[in-house]
Structures are given as structure tokens and as C-alpha cells.
Structure 1
Amino acid sequence: MSAEPFNVYHLCNFNEITKLEDLPTEALRQLWSCKWTTTRLQSILDNWSSNKTTEPNLEAADTLLCHAVELTLLFVQNNFTGPFKQLEEFSNFLQTKVLEEYDPFKRLMENGEEINPNVKLGELLVLAKEILDLLRQYWPDSLYLQWWHMRLIYIQQNVIDELTGNLYEQLKLVAESLLKNVENIQDKELQALLYLEIGNSYLLFHRAQKADCVLEQLCQRFGIVLNVEGLLGVRTKFQQKPLPQLCLKVQHTNSDLPLAQATNGKTNIPKLLLLDDDTRLERIRFIEPKDNEVMTLPSVLQALVLAKVKQLKRSQPKDRLADEELEPYIKTLLYQEHGPLQVRQSALLLNCVQESNQRRTVERSWKQCEGAVKLLDGPIFTLPERLSYAFAGFLQPKWQVQMQLCQLLLSLGMTKTALDIYLQIQAWAEVIQCYTKLELRHKAAEIIRQELEKKTTVLLHCLLGDAIDDPNCYATAWEFSKHTSGRAQAHWGTYYFRKAEYVEAIPHLEKSVEINPLQEKIWLRLGFAAIQLERWELAVHAYITYTHIEPLGFESWNNLAKALVKLGDKLRAHKVLSESLKCNYNNWKVWENFMIVSVDTCNLEDALNAYNRLSELKDRYLDLEVLCVTIGAIVEGKPDAKGQTQERLRKKAITLMAQQCIKHGNEPKVWELAALLAVTPHNRAQKLVKAVNAYTTKELEWATKQPYALKVIQVCQQACELSLEATKEHAPEETDVMITSQLNSARLAAQAVLRATAKVNEKWPENEEALTVLKAQLETLTATVKQRMNAS
């Protein structure tokens, strides 16, 4: 890699260690001062207008990069971090300029997806991208230019409501290049920040596994261990007995990371609101005093803990257990005395989500989120404080924070208050939902028509179609986009999908994902529609793509397995269902499908494990067909698909059948299957006698039914034969008393069978032959018992 023409200060990781007077150039000092005016913006526009067609030298390139960064940060301030006090001034200034070529609603569109209507000063982001693209042409190997390129991708994706395939492909290329050149950064903290920003970018595109790999590389490089331990403590004011509570312990051996007090010591970061509950403690109180002291983490490690929470949340099923595992990470962040404002803001918002579904904390969640929205435009924090470590702290656009507040308001029943905010931020889909909830659906259509008169967009045409159930609106949106909008096709296909008109829905859904392949919901609907029409190959394609984007939906894995089974690919179906179980360990339907496919593919151990889990999930669960096939295969010595030994399989099967015999003692087939696995004749005979008893009690008039009676007689014959065999061959622990007792049990069972059949008038030849054999066995049993009794 060639020499880096730019320096670390161009990254603008604002902290209190770097002083303005230490910066090497006037352009950098201007940039770090964050004193931006319309006069300054005019000079940037003039400079770019006169230099965009010429090859820049190093001095000009330094100035151009500072300009691109300044434009980006000005855009971030007015859309993400706040404050917004200069927004009107800059908006009015841009309106006076002829910047049609920088129209953000055209230039920032990707895969047919428009940017959010709340985006302000979008021309600045377009201009920043253009300047950076020029610099990257002349210095393609510059690590800092690539780093800013990744940041611009992150920002652009954040202002587009749907994930886009084009931006993800760009991100992958730049992220791979950056990871190869981490060593070229001398500053250890910046190395860590690069890993964090790459991981965060992958998480933005829902790539939790890739993010996990990047964060793991960071931890290995810096010797960081994030360990959640269980420590004794109490959670409520009246709790007498301490119970294990989760606590995060962060170990790091690298002393090159500056302390949070040095980087962000002057920032008065917002605190977690008091719970003010009469039962629950403000925070867990651990028994050991030292465990109540929160570890002081450097700013970059706080960003790492936040990234780990986001990664875990994205990669785990959404349930209460997973939320409890995330709690120690979040609380560690919230109790830090010093740290970056953006990391604290993100942690507070994440905590709002976690607490919103708990009765005792939902009110605090709402008030905290309301405070987070107010903070964006509050006067307390300076712009450098807001931008410090911002790209490592999960920047969110202002309207996304407001949307989170609206969701909390709706959960508390404050629909009208939420509606007012939705109208303010032009969240038209949510406006329709609120009006529907208020039984004023016609109002939604009126408002959308009014907005269409002001400005025509694809989204508004689509939402009008949703509001009035008119597919012609989607056709209009499609034509308006000049056949480029995946959203128009998605709404069109969804219209038919909801009416269960799958033949009409599929072409539109296919076209939509062809334009933008990162639409999770559309892939899911396409797969479901394909299954309904038994188009199995299309279903497999749709669900495989969906599981790559969103690997946590157990239903998608389940449906994928179903489609694979229909195509005859049961081996792949088995692997797919195994993945499905990771997403939802407690769903009995998935376990049942997994068990059946395991039996079909001869994964005998998996079949036994699945049956065990089903027995735990469903009371009195019994599937005799699966038991017969699985136990039969083990007894016959069939090889397991995964190469498990017969000894291991037999032990598992014996344990399973022992449990089944306890649960289903009145089911004769269960005893017969248990007998097949028994090692000694004595043990087998015991189980077969119980099978005979179960047969005769299950069907009171059994002797009058020829096939059933014959089955009872035959099982009784086997029991008698094995009982006699046990007198010659038995295990050392099987005493003479035990064997004699078993002979008596078999004799009594045979007598009972013969008595019952003797009362039946009708004689069947097959039964008579079997009865003759049984009578002979009874005589032998009686003689043997007498002989053994006399001998003793």
C-alpha cells in the first residue's frame, strides 16, 4: 500500500485530548472548531465548482477532504445528532442556490428505494460523496478515504427506510479492504474504532455473524474478554434470599486505550431515570460489596460493549431469556460516570426497548425516550460532544428516535399523541395504522391525497393504494418511477398476497426482490405464496435468501425444510431444521418436523433427542410410529447417519423407553418396544408380561376380536418362552428368587389368557394353534415353578 497522504485528524473522532492548536493545518482547525456558517458553505461550494474538473495536488486534496468531512458532519448534525438551531438558515441558503444536479431524492436513491422524506440538507451529503469519489480516484489506497467512504455508506443507508443491496455490496468491498490494512494505523484506539465501525455497519445490514467475527478480531487483538457471570444478589426491596444475578466483567490488558475521563471527562452525559418503584430496587444489589462497583471503561470499550449488545440482540431469538442476558451489558454502560454522549444515548434508547414490555419499567421507558428526543435539540451539549465517537455509537436519524417514542406511546394507549408525531415526521404507513385503530381510516386517505398534491412520490402513491385498497395506485407508482421502484412492486404484490391471490402476487413480489434483494418481508411473502401454489423450487430459493438476511425466524427455516422435503432433498431439510431449532428451542412443531426428517434420513440419535424434547414440551406426547421405526432400526443395527455407535444409541433408546413406560404404562406397544431393547431374557420377559396386561386392560372384549386376540396370545407366548429361557441364561444380578417370580408372572398371564379365550364360543383356526402352544408352555411353566419351589 502506498504512503498515506492524509492524517488521522481527518477522521474527526472528537475527543478532549486533541486540542485545536495541535492540529497541523488551518483547514483541519476550521473543521474541528465545528463553527459552520452559510458563508463557510458558500466558500466550499465555490471551491468545489472551480476545482472539480482538475487533478488536485496534496494541499488541495487536504482542503477538499476537510470540505467533504465538514459537509458530512453538517448533514449528520441536522439529521442525526442535533442541535437543529441552524437548520432553517442552511435550508434557506440552499434554496437560493441552483443545485438541481445535487437533488438528494434522486442522487441518494438506491435499488429503487427513496430516501426518507424527513431528510434535511440532503444536497450536502450528495456533494460530500462527489468530492470523496474524486479523491478516491487519485488516492484509491488511502485508508482514511476508504474509512470515510464506509461512513458515507452507513449514513446513506440510515436515511433510506429499506435495506438496499447495492449499498451492502459497496460496504462489503470497502470493509474487506479496511480489515486488511488495520496494521497501517499506528494509534491503537483508532484501530479499535475501525473494527467497531465495520462491525456496526454490518449490523446495520443485519449481518450479525459478520459483525461477530469483526468484534471477535478486535477482542483478540486487544486482549479483551467480555464475560457475563452469575453472582448472588437481590433485585427487590423485600427479597430475603439472594439469587444468582447476571453481571458483566470486562477484562482488558491493553494500556494504550485512553481513559474515558481523558477523552470525554467534561461531557455531562445523561443518566438513567430513577425507577421510583415501591418493590423493585433501582439496581441489583450484590452480596459482595466489590461486585456493586461498576467497572470504569475507556470510551472505546464502552462502544465495544454497545456493539456487542446490538450484535447479541440481532443474533438471538426475541424472548425474555435473551433480554435478561443483555441486561448486564446495558446496565454496565448506563452506570459509567464518563463516556461519549452518542454511546450513552444509544444505550438509553436500547434500554427503553428492553424495559418497554415490563409493567414496572414501561413508564420509565417512555419518559426516558421522551428525554432522548428532547436531548437532540437541547442546548446542553456542544456539537463536538455530540459527534465524539459518534460513528462507533450507532447513530440514528432523529425521526427513528421519534418513531421509537411513538411505539412506546402506542403501547401505553396514547394513540392520538403518537399520531401527532407520526404526522409531523410524515410516517404515513404508521398514520394509516393509527387512523385505522381510531376507526378513522378515511382520514388517512384524505391526508395522503393532500400530500400528493404538494409533492408526488412513489411511497405516497403506494400508501394511498393501501389506504383505499386500489391496485391502480400501485400501477401509477410503478409508472411514476419509470419501472425502477421495488417498493411499488412490493406493495402491489402484498395487495394480492393479503387477498390470498397468490398467482397474481408472485410476479410482483419477484420483480420487487429482483430490484432490491434485501427486502426481508417480501422474500418471506414470496416463499409463503410459492408454498401455497406448491412451487417448491421458488419456495426454496425465497426462504434460503430470507434466512441469509434474517437467520432467526424459525418459521422460515421450517418452511424451507418443508419445501426441501417436497423436492425430495431430505438431507438438506434435516440440516435446515437443525438451524431452525437454534432460533426457537421451545417450539414443538419444529421439533416434531425435525424428528420425522431425522427418522427418514436415519439420524437416529437426533430422532431420539427430538422425541425426548417433545416429551418435555408436550404432556403425554406419544408417537408410536416414530418409536417403532427408530427402535426397530437400532435393534437391527442400522448405522446412524452421523456415525454414532450402536452402544451409544442403545443406551439413549433404553433411557427414552424407560421414560415412556412410566408415562404410558397402559400402552402395550411401548412395553413391546422396551422389551426389544432389553439385554437379558428375564428383563425382556418382564416387559412382555406387562405388555400382555396392557393389551387385556386396554380392550375389555379383546378375546372376541380375532386379530387382537391372536396378538395377545403371541405376546404371551414370547413372555413364557423368555421366562423359561431365563432359567438357563441370566445376568449375575438376576437371582433365583427373581427368576422364579418372573416364571410365576408369566404362568399367571398365560392362565388369564387361556381362561378368557375359553369363554368365547367362536373358534378361529389361527388362534387355536397358538392356544395349543400356549397351553403346552403353561404346563412347562407350572412344572418348572413347582420344581424350583421344592428345590428351595
Structure 2
Amino acid sequence: MTSIPTLSLENLLLEGKWDPKIRDLNNPFVNLTKSVVEGQFRSALTSPTARTLFQPRCKALDRPLSELFHFAIQATENPVEGEILRLALAVASLHAFVQANWTGPNLDVQPLDVVQDAITPITNVSIDQVAIAELAYGGEPAYHLAKVPAFLRISQLLLALPYSHVQSAPWWRLRATLVHQQILDEPVAVPLELQASLEPLCLALAADPLLSGRLYLEQGLLDHLLSQDKSAAEHFVKAARATGLEYELTGALGKRTKFQETELSQLVLLAESHLHEDDLDISPPLQKEQGAISQRDASQTSNVPETMALNDDTLLEQTEFTSSRPAATNSRLDHIDPSSQPPLHPLDQCILLSLCLNVKNTSPSHGLTSEQMSPYVARVISHPRNWSSHTMALLLRSRLESSRTRTVERSTFQLQALIDQMPTTDSTLSERLRYFHSIPLPSKWEMEKELALRFLSLGVVKSALEIFERLEMWEEVVKCWGALERPEKGIAILRDLLEGRKAEAEAVLAHGKSTSAHRKEVQDSARESKLWCLLGDLEPEKAAEHYERAWEVSRETSGRAMRSLGGYYFARAKYPRAITCLKRAVAINPLLTRSWFILGCASMREEDWEGARNAFSRCVALDEEDGESWNNLASMYLRLGSAKEDAVSEIFACFKITDEIEGVTIAGSTTKSIPFSNKLLAFRALKEGLRFSYDNWRMWYNYMVVAMDVGELQEACRALGRVVEETGDKLGAQSVDEDVLERLVEAVVRGPANPAETLEDSRVQNEVANPNEGHGLFRNVSILFEKTILSRVSSPRIFRAYARLLTWESKWQEALKAYLDGYRIGTAGTMEKGEADVEKWREAVSEVEEIVDILRNFGPRTEVYKWRLQGRSIVRAFMARTRDFEDEPEWGLLVELQSEFQKECEE
């Protein structure tokens, strides 16, 4: 039938809202699509049209679900009809799974209703168990209590078929992948072709702001789920540009407490939508005084989750802005009143919530993050437009408020309310599903887990334990028993589960499947493997045996087993075994930074520099904020650059490598055998890592060493300053690398002291402009001395280096004072009466002789300084304190110096 509006039906499925202009409901494919869009999944999945697709191939459930049905289009069918049918049923199956596990209300269709008469004997429990086992992916098990997992598996199988006429199939594969990732224990890398298949669709939808905005947003959410924060941020910004959303985080005068009298600048997010409202009801903003939804009809208030009131005696329900103008006067949004902003389109609300998540990902872990995120959340909460987006906004606010004493109570009650409202029918299913794929809404069990963790943070361990046991999250159950100082209870639970004495799901008992033998047969291998790993964590003496058993049970697919075994061997310095296990682990799931880091450390201990470099490279690719990995990556570049075998032991005499696993610092030294290109790579790696480890003095020290080696002296100067700032109070003069300091001064004084006199010389002009030499470096070195080093620490070499810098400036009196300060804290200046060390005394005599020469050279250049009297006083005082050495040959030199100064003073 060529009359089927294929593209229109695809768009309706994507948008989640039926177009009343389409009236061809006699067409079975149009009618089926309408049922799917409106959330009538039982009608869609059990329709006569659907049954043509769910034809059985076999009568027994002893094969994969992919071999159960005739999903392929028959040769006699219209290929367009067949693809629309498969897509609609795939969407219906996917959304049925989402309804049962995310949005509610309770689902009215079961897998058995779809596959009845296909297989005998069969139950909903048995088909779901097969589906859960097949949904395990990348060595990570699927959550075994997920409801109707067979629907998700059927959706995957339908979407995996080839589509030639339906353009949106790759998008639905993306949505199915997002849902699938959230039921796994850990995120797993997705095939590269998934993102590549979306590029043509992005180009085709460029003219449609609503659909293109959604597609970019959902791509960003996948990146967010896989911890690819930079890529996620780019997609979120593209989504905002596609929809025309304008937003700006700025300040406006306002109050946050009930007793505040002085208006202060408060953070506010100004935002304005440019999407078509699409006949959406516009909800009025929240009242300032009570925080409740004002002047709302009953129908409007009933379709969004309940917003819990704060009821605090000090804090206002929300910031009360007293200024109608934002602080930024040159902004495109300065016409918006912060206290009365226009409603946003629901898709734009989803984009703001995603941008809020990205603020958390790309900001340091301190209070500023909460302050930055709160305006995003408040902007969405102020105008409820959709059940799902409002639920997500309330959930984010609950998380932000969980760490503050005045808001923790509302935070917990709000989270409980969000869980309780899921089974209700306060809003239509189509409304709940319409923007579900545009927000990272957690599943029911994840929200309950979050509530249990909230109880744990408040010390309510028993309540948390009850939730974890009901959810059968045994890892958290074990932790709770550990917190109650009864770890043996956790061990007993795990052994009962593994030996079949304890049944997991209540559904199993309800269906008469409680016998241990049967449970051992149907329990999927991924979940059993995880239990063996948990037991290994609790029984260190048998840990290796349990981890090996987990690996065997999973048929060598459990990444958790290999990660645990690799960590076990690493902690016991069995590095070759650790490397073998960790390589298997990262091959199964390459998204876990910790596994790569330990692999890199183990390879480093085995002097496998190439392997360590690759591992640390993967660490920083997955998490660019991992400062330790950047530091170790830099060290590996230098190790790889060592041309000689015997240079390995010398590579890092100054370089400090922190092994985060054991806290060991390895020492070594850079050598000339390292190629400059490798040194430059190390320099860049350290520079990147310091963006995220600004307080790590070891990394600054390493950066200083490499910067000196590659000629980046200005950066070396900055690094030395940071090292002194971080360690000066504890280490004193030892915090200053005096060799580096002297090299910095040498680089300055190499240039002309007064380049203005010879500006015609191109070489001199270059020295003035070069930031690593002469006057280009002078300012930084001068600040380093005056504001950083001399205000904290001192030593003779530091004063001599400073005096040399002052000499270059022709500041003779200041230079002489610096030399004298260095003398006073040196060997000669601090030598006490009664000293018996001859060698030390001879060293001191050399210092006296040196300071006398300095006085004679610098003294005449100062107009008011009485340098002769100063020199005589120095010699006389030193001789008075060291008369025990009168018999030494050097004593005559001191007598001669005293005589010379005496004559000069008398003249």
C-alpha cells in the first residue's frame, strides 16, 4: 500500500503524540501506530496485525529468543508495510518495558499474551529468565528483577533487522541502547556503527528543530551515560542551538532567607524558548511566598508529581528576586524579569536538565557545583509542563538538597514521593513517555536504591537493609551487614544463594519454582558469577579461588571476575598474573577507568613501558580529569624515550610517580638520551593533568623538571612557585629546587640588562620578546622571589641567586643586602663558639673571603652604605667566635683581612 504516510508515522512514533489530522484509521498499520503512540500496548501487541509477525518457529523454549519467531518480512508482503509493522511493534515492546520499570502505571500486558500458543509449556517467569540471561552484555549482568525483560529483548531483535525504507530505525536503536545500558551493572561500550548510523539522520532532520534537538540531546545522554563528558556537552549545546533555546546563568538581586534584610546578588538562570508551543497548556509560575503552584485548575495540577514544601523556619521556598532586571545589561535576555520568566517548552526543559548534569560532570567536587546546578533545576520546576521532565527536576533538586541540614528532610520525603507516584494514574501514559528518552530518568529500582543509600547516609541502616533485600541487591546488603559489624551474615546469605538454600525472587516462589535444583538450572550465569565475586570480596583467604570460580561459571565472560582477580594479584605484587587478568577485563568492558589504571601500574612495575603508556592513555581518554593518570602517562613517555638500557634506572631521579594503589613513590632522572619529542609529549600531558590536580605538588614538581628540559622556563618558574606554595610551610628551604632556581636566574641574566640601548639588534629584540629568556622571563622570576619564595623560606643559595638577579638590574645596594642575608644564614654566619670541625671552619673562611670580595666590589657603587665598617665587623666577629683555629694556616688570611679593613677605615 503506497498510501501509507511512512514518514509521518515515523515522526509520530518519535514525537510520542498522535496527529488528529490523520484519519485513515481503517488502515491496520495506521491504527496500530496510533495505539502505540497513545500507549495502548496490549491492543497493539495482541492485534491480528501483530500476530502475523509473532509466528513461532519451534514449540520449546530451549533456543535463543532470536530463533523463536519469524521476524523476517515474507516475500509476498509489501516491504514498506513490513518495516512499519516491525518498527511499531519494536516501539510498543520497548515502551511496554519502560512503562513497567520506569514511568508506570502498572502494565496490562505480559509476554505470554504476545507469544501464547507459540511455545508449550511456557510461563511469564520462564521467558523472562531467558530474556534476562540474553540481556547480559559486555560481561555485565542485567538486573534480574526487571519486569517483563522479554519485551526489551523482543524490541532489540526487531530493531536489529535491516531497514531500507524506514529512516528512523537507527534512532530507535539508540533509544533501545540507552534503556539497555541502564539495566546493566556497569555501562558497556556501544558499537561504533551506532553513532555513525545516526549522522545521515542528523542531516536529514536539520530543518526540523524539534526532532533534530531531540536527536542531539539523546546522543548526548548516551555520551553522559558512558562518562564521555566532553562529547556529551557538545551534543547538549547542539540540541540547544537546534531548538533555538537561549539561556544564561547570571545574577540578580534577591533574598534566600525569611529574615534577610539586605538584598544580595543571587544566581539565576534566564532562559527563553523559541519552539512552537504545540497546543501545550501553560502552567503559571510558582508563588514566591508559598512555593506552591498558583491559580491552577484541578486538571492541570493532577498531571504532575507532587512538589514537597520546604517548611523551614529560615529558608524561603525559593529565591525571592527583588530586582526585575538581571545583572548583565548587555545580554539578549536582559528583558526577562528573573521573578516572572516565561514558560519553557518541555524539550527545552529537558535540555536544561541535561546541561545541569554536565555542570556536575565538568565542575570540581565542591559547593560551587550545587550553586551552579540549582538555578537550572529551579527554572524547570517553576513551570511544570510534563510529568517526566518535572519528575527529573524534582529528583535533581532532591539530590542537591541531600547534603544540607535544612533541606535533607524535604530531600528524602521528595524522593519517597517520586517513588510512590509511579504506579498511580495521575497522568496519561503517553504524556509520561513523550519525553522519557530526552531525560536520564532512573528506573524504579535505581530510585529505590538511591532512597536506601540516602537512609544509609542518615545512619538508618535497618531501613536501607530492608530495601536492598527486597530489591535483591546483594552487594549493598553485604555492605549494610558490614556497617552493622556482622559480616558473617553477608557471607551466609551469599552461600545460601549459591547453594540453592535461599530463593531470590518472590515471583519464583509464587510460580512454584522454589526447588533448589531447578533454581540452579535456570539461574543465569552472569548473576551467579557476580555472587561468587561478592563472596571472594568477603573471604580474602579464598578470594582467588572464588574469583576463578566466577570466571568459570560465566564461561569466561565476567569482567567483574577478572577485575577482582587482577586487583587481588596486584595487591600481592604478582604483576604478570595481574596484567593477564586485567587485559582480559578491559577487553570485556573497556569503559572502566580503574581497571586501566591498575593495568598501567602493573605494567610499569614490570617495566613494560609501552603497555603502561597505552593503559594510562586509555585512562585519560575515558576520564580527562584523572590527574594521576596524566602524571603517569608523562612518565611513560620519558621511559619510552630512554635509548640506553642502563638509562632506565636514571630516568627519574627527580621525577615523582605516585602509584595510587599502594601510595609508593618511585624516583628516577631525566637524561639526554630521551628524544625531545617524547619530552614534549610528557610536558603536554602534565600540563593537561594539572588542570584537574592543581593542588598536587608532585605533579607540579614533575612539570617543573620537564618544562626545564624542553625550554619552557616560564612554565618551570610557575611550577616552582606552586611547589613552594604547597610545601613551603612543611619542608622549608627543601621545597625549593635551588638548581632550577639558579638556572632560571641564569636564563634572565643572559639577556642584556638594558635592551633599549640596542634595539636595532634583532637578537636583542628576540630576547626581549622571548618569554623564556632575558626580560621576557625577568618579571616572573622577580615575582617568584619576592612574593613566593622569600616570604616563606630562605637559604644561602636562594639569597645568592636573588642577589645575582638584582645585580643584573644594577640594584647594587639591594644586591649587597641579599648577599649579606645569605652570609648570615650560611656556615660562617651561623658558626657557634666552640666549633671543632676543621673542614667546616675552612668552608666558613671561604665564605668570609667571598663576602669580603663582594663588599669591596659593590660597596663603592653605593653612596650611603658603610661597607668598610661592615667588612671589618664581619671579619672581627668571625675571628672572635673561632679562636680555637688560630693554629690553622687559613688563620693568617683572616688576620690579613682584618688589618686591611682597619687601615681602610682609618683612612
Query: Above 0.5 in TM-score?
Result: yes
Aligned: 1:516 with 2:589: yes
Out of 146, 170, 185, the residue aligned to residue 119 of structure 1 is: 146
Report the Cα offset of residue 157 of structure 1. Answer: 1.4
After superposing the two structures, state which structure 1 stretch, 661-670 or 434-443, moved more: 661-670
Amino acid at match of 1:700: T
The structure whose residues are more often helix, as a share, is 1
> What is aligned with 1:688?
816
Amino acid at match of 2:7: F
Out of 50, 53, 72, the residue aligned to residue 47 of structure 1 is: 53
Out of 72, 78, 86, the residue aligned to residue 94 of structure 2 is: 72
Report the Cα offset of residue 77 of structure 1. Answer: 0.9
Specify which structure has the bigger relative contact order, considering alpha-carbon pairs within 8 angstroms and separated by 6 or more residues: 1
Any idea what SS the aligned residue of 2:254 has?
strand
Task: Give me the whole-angstrom Cα distance separating, in 1, the residues matched to 2:447 and 2:601.
Answer: 32
Distance 1:478 1:413, change over 3 A: same
Aligned: 1:129 with 2:135: no
After superposition, give the CA deviation of every residue in 1:631-678 in whole Å (9 maximum; x if it has no partner): 333334599999656323111111121124651475333332222222
Aligned: 1:610 with 2:731: no
Task: Give me the whole-angstrom Cα distance separating, in 2, the residues matched to 1:636 and 1:38.
Answer: 86
Is the 1:232–1:286 Cα contact (8 Å) retained in structure 2? Answer: yes
Any idea what SS the aligned residue of 1:47 has?
coil
- How many correspondences in the alignment? 757
After superposing the two structures, state which structure 1 stretch, 429-438 or 626-635, moved more: 626-635
Any idea what SS the aligned residue of 1:7 has?
helix
Report the Cα offset of residue 308 of structure 1. Answer: 0.9
Is the 2:575–2:605 Cα contact (8 Å) retained in structure 1? Answer: yes
Matches within 5 A, 1:710-721: 710-721=846-857
Is the 1:667–1:691 Cα contact (8 Å) retained in structure 2? Answer: no
What runs of 5+ residues in structure 2 fail to find an aligned partner?
Answer: 56-69, 284-298, 325-336, 501-518, 642-677, 752-765, 836-840
Task: Give me the whole-angstrom Cα distance separating, in 1, the residues matched to 2:385 and 2:359.
Answer: 22
> What is aligned with 2:40?
35
Report the Cα offset of residue 440 of structure 1. Answer: 2.2
Is the 2:707–2:713 Cα contact (8 Å) retained in structure 1? Answer: yes
Any idea what SS the aligned residue of 1:246 has?
strand
Matches within 5 A, 1:72-221: 72-86=94-108, 89-90=110-111, 98=119, 103-136=130-163, 138-139=164-165, 142-165=166-189, 167-183=190-206, 186-221=207-242
After superposition, give the CA deviation of every residue in 1:416-467 in whole Å (9 maximum; x if it has no partner): 1111111122212111111111122222233223333232532222223223
Is the 1:199–1:211 Cα contact (8 Å) retained in structure 2? Answer: yes
Report the Cα offset of residue 499 of structure 1. Answer: 4.9
Any idea what SS the aligned residue of 2:454 has?
helix
Task: Give me the whole-angstrom Cα distance separating, in 2, the residues matched to 1:371 and 1:556.
Answer: 42
Aligned: 1:320 with 2:320: no
Task: Give me the whole-angstrom Cα distance separating, in 2, the residues matched to 1:213 and 1:771.
Answer: 78
Is the 2:353–2:377 Cα contact (8 Å) retained in structure 1? Answer: yes
Aligned: 1:229 with 2:276: no
> What is aligned with 1:582?
691
Is the 1:112–1:484 Cα contact (8 Å) retained in structure 2? Answer: yes
After superposition, give the CA deviation of every residue in 1:294-324 in whole Å (9 maximum; x if it has no partner): 4421111111111111222222332222332
> What is aligned with 1:730?
none
Any idea what SS the aligned residue of 1:178 has?
helix
Task: Give me the whole-angstrom Cα distance separating, in 1, the residues matched to 2:617 and 2:690.
Answer: 16
Aligned: 1:6 with 2:33: no
TM-score scaled to structure 2, two decimals?
0.76
Task: Give me the whole-angstrom Cα distance separating, in 2, the residues matched to 1:447 and 1:97.
Answer: 38
Report the Cα offset of residue 255 of structure 1. Answer: 5.0
Amino acid at match of 1:212: A
> What is aligned with 1:444?
490
Out of 476, 490, 499, the residue aligned to residue 549 of structure 2 is: 476
Is the 1:20–1:32 Cα contact (8 Å) retained in structure 2? Answer: no
> What is aligned with 1:339?
385
TM-score scaled to structure 1, two decimals?
0.86
Task: Give me the whole-angstrom Cα distance separating, in 2, the residues matched to 1:715 and 1:17.
Answer: 93
Matches within 5 A, 1:344-743: 344-452=390-498, 453=500, 454=519, 455=523, 457-469=528-540, 470=542, 471-499=544-572, 501-568=574-641, 569-618=678-727, 620=729, 622-625=735-738, 626-636=740-750, 644=772, 646-660=774-788, 662-664=790-792, 667-678=795-806, 683-697=811-825, 699-701=829-831, 705-724=841-860, 726=861, 739-741=862-864, 743=865
Aligned: 1:300 with 2:347: yes
Report the Cα offset of residue 404 of structure 1. Answer: 1.4
Distance 1:36 1:222, change over 3 A: closer
Distance 1:552 1:85, change over 3 A: same
> What is aligned with 1:790?
none
After superposition, give the CA deviation of every residue in 1:714-744 in whole Å (9 maximum; x if it has no partner): 14422441332x3xxxxxxxxxxxx422x32
Out of 298, 304, 309, the residue aligned to residue 356 of structure 2 is: 309
After superposing the two structures, state which structure 1 stretch, 416-425 or 599-608, moved more: 599-608
Amino acid at match of 1:311: N
Amino acid at match of 2:132: F
What runs of 5+ residues in structure 1 fail to find an aligned partner?
Answer: 727-738, 784-792
Is the 1:435–1:443 Cα contact (8 Å) retained in structure 2? Answer: yes
Task: Give me the whole-angstrom Cα distance separating, in 1, the residues matched to 2:300 and 2:772.
Answer: 59
Is the 1:330–1:351 Cα contact (8 Å) retained in structure 2? Answer: yes
Is the 1:259–1:298 Cα contact (8 Å) retained in structure 2? Answer: no
Report the Cα offset of residue 238 of structure 1. Answer: 3.6
Task: Give me the whole-angstrom Cα distance separating, in 1, the residues matched to 2:47 and 2:472.
Answer: 30
Any idea what SS the aligned residue of 1:249 has?
strand
> What is aligned with 1:786?
none
Any idea what SS the aligned residue of 2:782 has?
helix
Report the Cα offset of residue 603 of structure 1. Answer: 2.0
After superposition, give the CA deviation of every residue in 1:572-623 in whole Å (9 maximum; x if it has no partner): 2322222222223334443333333333433222222223334544564641
